[in-house]
Amino acid sequence: MLSSARCSLHRQLARHIRLTSSNAPPTSTDIVARSKRRQQGGRNLSERYRRLENAIRGKEALLKQASALSQGPASAAELQFNKPTTSSTSKGPNIIAGFAILEEPRPPADDECCMSGCAICVYDLYEESLAAYKESVVALRSALSAMNIPENKWPPHIRTSQTQVPSTTTHSDKTKGAVLDAFEEMERALKEKREKRAAVETES
């Protein structure tokens, strides 16, 4: 008797699956359910992943240039670097004595970080590309010094003057401060939300 009940249950389930998978026009409840599910979906992250991919490629180019510069001026002169394609204006010439001068990576905008603890965060990528940029600047300075090019002919942001050193440390402190401020703001918002929820629960 139990096996016959199972068989009839299986037949009913199979018939239900056939009916729902047929090409019958969807009912209004199906349309409403689909539209609700569509609105509950997440953000389109394709543009973000494209931006992250470009940032990683930029980091690889910086590392390649730094390794070429550390090998010596002859091997670095053999490499041909493309002019960076950014909309911002350059602080100086793009090439000096055959060496490409890369622009400093821009910090991510406030809306680029989702603050959800991603494995690949835009702030982590920015810090890595900034470290690679600093390494390439150090290698470029040593290569220009080895070629006996006077420092007054170098672009201002490459020179080893005392005014440039504190500004870079201040800039990195500002970015770390911005990250911490964003997390503190998120924590404050979560705390307020919890307090409101607790107040509503105590009232009811």
Q: Is residue 36 part of a domain?
A: no
Q: Contact, 144 vs 77, CB < 8 A?
A: no
Q: Contact, 102 vs 140, CB < 8 A?
A: no
Distance CA 141, CA 185 (A): 40
Q: Is residue 50 part of a domain?
A: yes
Distance CA 22, CA 80 (A): 61
Q: Is residue 106 part of a domain?
A: yes
Q: Is residue 204 part of a domain?
A: no
Q: Is 142's pLDDT higher than 70?
A: yes
Q: Is residue 93 part of a domain?
A: yes
The 10s digit of each residue's pLDDT in 74-131 is 544 444 444 444 444 444 446 777 777 778 888 888 778 777 777 888 888 888 888 8
> What pLDDT does residue 165 have?
45
**Shortest CA distance to 135 belongs to which of 59, 38, 36?**
59
> What pLDDT does residue 193 have?
92
Q: Identify which has the larger pLDDT, 181 or 39.
A: 181
Percent of the chain, pLDDT > 90? Answer: 5
Distance CA 101, CA 99 (A): 6
Distance CA 148, CA 156 (A): 17
Q: How confident is the model at residue 43 (pLDDT cuts 50, 70, 90)?
A: low
Output the six-digit token pair for 176.
């770390």
Q: Is 155's pLDDT higher than 80?
A: no
> What pLDDT does residue 204 have?
74
- The b/e string for 129-149 (b: 16+ C-beta within 10 A; e otherwise) is bbebbebbbebbbebbeeeee
Q: Is residue 193 part of a domain?
A: no
Q: Is 16's pLDDT higher than 70?
A: no
Which domain, by its residues, includes 58? Answer: 46-160
Distance CA 75, CA 121 (A): 34
Number of compact structural domains in the chain? 1
pTM for the model: 0.38
Q: Is residue 197 part of a domain?
A: no
Q: How confident is the model at residue 203 (pLDDT cuts 50, 70, 90)?
A: confident
> What pLDDT does residue 52 have?
77
- The b/e string for 61-70 (b: 16+ C-beta within 10 A; e otherwise) is bbbebbebbe
**Residue 186 CB neighbour total at 10 angstroms:** 12
Q: Identify which has the larger pLDDT, 60 or 167.
A: 60
Q: Is residue 71 part of a domain?
A: yes
Summary mean pLDDT of the chain: 71
Output the six-digit token pair for 91.
């602080």
Q: Contact, 122 vs 47, CB < 8 A?
A: no
Q: Contact, 127 vs 191, CB < 8 A?
A: no
